[in-house]
Chains A and B, each alone.
Chain A
Amino acid sequence: MPEFLLVLVSTILVNNFVLVQFLGLCPFMGVSNKLEAAMGMSLATTFVLTLSSVLSYLTYRYVLVPLDVAYLKTISFILVIAVTVQFTEMVVRKTSPLLYRVLGIFLPLITSNCAVLGVALLTVKKGIDSFMAAFLYGFGAALGFSLVLVLFAALRERIAVADVPVPFKGASIGLITAGLMSLAFMGFSGLIKI
């Protein structure tokens, strides 16, 4: 049990996907102008990243390794994840309009993101060897992403009304802010060695 907690703390804070590993910067910059949109994106990301980690673990362990074709992992992960997410999106759209409004519109946006492939490849690279650990790795990565996305969105709503010099308005002050956030997250380095 303690090692599961360590995986969570490690992925949420110490090795935060956005601010420490610099994955998933496009949705981080793109969907952080409004807090509500950021929350919807967070939910979608949590779903996709968790699914991605688990699926890649299963694909790798039970298909690629037995067939001795581990070099096909990148292409097979993309295929499996994209198919599953698109299928989920279609099911959600047909069955639950409410869920679709909150979650569905963000699903196609996040599926093609580097964080999704990143979490899949890192799951394999780090040698995660149980279903539960893979699940928590993806879930933790997603929680870390959601945490900084929501905090960043609230911060940007405040910066939007600040008297930022004209050359720095918009994305550039956003990137500077992300840099300073990353500086703050350096404080967690050394907390856990995973």
Chain B
Amino acid sequence: MALLSVTSPHIHKPGNTGGFMRQVLYATLPGLFMLTYFFGFGTLINVVIASAVAMGCEALILKVRNKPIAFYLNDYSAVVTAVLLALAIPPTAPWWLTVIGCAFAIVVAKHLYGGLGMNPFNPAMVGYVLLLISFPKEMTTWLPAAGLDNSVNVPGVFESLRLTFLGTNPDALSGATPLDTFKTYAGQPEVLDSNAILHGTFAGYGWEWVNIAFLLGGVYLIWKKIITWHIPAGMLLSIFLLSGFFNTAVDADNYPSIMHHLLSGGTMLGAFFIATDPVTAATSNRGKIIYGFLIGLLTYVIRTWGGYPDAVAFSVLLMNLAAPTLDYYTQPRTYGHRQPNKGLAKPD
């Protein structure tokens, strides 16, 4: 028996950026399937457009900066950004919406900072927030979920293509999301009780399954050790605690239930796929828990009292800009050394 002397780190399988990014892409598949099932082929079309634009912009910038194009395109990071953005924007979005958001995400939010690993803000969420602020109408037009009532027809392939490329006015078939609905009718229990979209099996109709699918994808990522549990746990815990407190102890008519918050909008996509971006999140485990917890807190506050129905994107960006400070204050002590000096303490 040969005793090989191997030094650490003892990684027993090859890991590279492309491999990790592909795992993230696989993990989005259940959510993508559920979105397609409930809202038609629009999301799939968006994913295709976004990926193409992202690859194109990435290649263009790499060409301008004289970097090896094939090497960087092979790490799939641009595709992950594109897919996450495409999953977040509505299936009825016209094609130029996806193009603008994706180009801005890749060129400004990612490559002006030097590309993968250097960007302080999550590119997909920068693109999303830019679109939400600039085109609020297009960005908040969702379809009613399939099977909600008999009049709902999920757009097929051609109908979706027509919506995306010909810009047919989708108002005729638009429907509010559960978060929109609750925000509009908060405090009117009789309207809320009779609204079918708020009464699925667990939470908002249709959206509950989308979120459960993303939760499954997230569990897969944790199992594959692509992400750690700290950020999702912190984020979901704070949403759980806040919505539980306000729903049970304050007023159930104005503050929706725990399940409504956990399984609506972008909660699960945000918690497992977006907040966990290793580049823009906090680094230490303690920092990650605080980071996730504060994202949940901001999400709940803006959802409940703010001007926007969903707030995961804003919260992630706000915590992105706080992440370096969090890292600074949650730096772990190196074994055998004293606690590092922070803040206004006099350096040695």
- Residues of A bordering B, CB below 8 Å: 35-36, 39-40, 102, 150-152, 154-155, 157-159, 162-165, 168, 173, 176-177, 180-181, 183-192
Q: Decide if B113 touches A190 in the complex (CB within 8 Å).
A: no
Q: Does the CB pair B344–A39 fall under 8 Å?
A: yes
Which residues from chain B contact A191 at a C-beta distance below 8 Å? 301-302, 305-307
Query: Given the interface contacts A155-B321, A173-B113, A188-B302, does A165 sit within 8 Å of B129 by beta carbon?
Result: no
Interface membership of B30, Cβ < 8 A: no
Once A159-B113, A180-B109, A180-B126 are accepted as A-B contacts, the answer to whether A189 and B307 lie under 8 Å apart by CB is yes
Q: How many residues of B contact A (CB 8 A)?
A: 37
The answer to whether B311 has its CB under 8 Å from any CB of chain A is yes
Q: Are A168 and B112 CB-contacts (below 8 A) given A102-B344, A191-B307?
A: yes
Which secondary structure dominates where chain A touches chain B? helix
B346 to chain A, nearest CB (A): 10
Known A-B contacts: A152-B321, A159-B118, A190-B308. Give 6 more (CB < 8 A).
A154-B328, A168-B112, A176-B108, A180-B108, A183-B129, A190-B307
CA distance A39 to B328 in the complex (A): 13
Cβ–Cβ contact A180 & B306, under 8 A: no
Residue of B nearest to A163 (CB): B114
Given contacts A158-B324, A159-B120, contact A186 B314 (CB under 8 A): yes
The smallest beta-carbon distance between B331 and chain A, in angstroms, is 12
Whether the pair B113, A187 counts as a contact (CB closer than 8 A) is no
| A155-B324 in contact given A177-B120, A184-B129, A186-B314 (Cβ < 8 Å) | yes
Task: Select A164's contact among B114, B311, B322, B328, beta carbons within 8 Å.
Answer: B114
Assess the B118–A187 pair: CB atoms within 8 A. no
Contacts of B65 in A (CB 8 A): 165
In the bound complex, do residue A157 and residue B324 qualify as a contact, i.e. CB atoms below 8 Å apart?
A: yes
Smallest Cβ distance from A10 to chain B, in angstroms? 12
Return the chain B residue nearest A39 by Cβ: B344
Given the known inter-chain contacts A163-B115, A183-B130, please indicate yes or no for A151 contacting B305, CB distance below 8 A.
Answer: no
Is B93 at the interface (CB under 8 A from chain A)? Answer: no
Q: B112: nearest residue on chain A (CB-CB)?
A: A168
* Among A152, A155, A180: residue with most chain B CB under 10 A: A180
Contact with A along B195-233 (1 / 0, CB 8 A): 000000000000000000000000000000000000000
Chain B residues with CB under 8 Å of A181's CB are: 321
Given known pairs A39-B343, A173-B113, A190-B306, the reply for A162 and B328 (CB within 8 Å) is: no
Interface string of B120-141 (1 = CB under 8 A from A): 1100001001100100000000
Contact, CB under 8 Å: A183 / B126 = yes
Chain A residue at smallest Cβ distance from B113: A162
5 inter-chain pairs at a CB distance below 8 angstroms, sorted by A residue, are A35-B328, A176-B112, A180-B121, A181-B321, A184-B317
Q: List residues 264-317 of chain B with CB under 8 A from any CB of chain A.
A: 298, 301-302, 305-308, 311, 313-315, 317
- Of A151, A177, A192, most buried by chain B (CB within 10 Å of CB) is A151
Residues of A within 8 A of B108 (CB): 176, 180
Q: Is B320's beta carbon under 8 Å from chain A?
A: yes
Chain A nearest Cβ from B275, distance in angstroms: 14
Interface residue from B307, B325, B343 paired with A151 (Cβ < 8 Å):
B325
Interface: B60 (CB within 8 A):
no
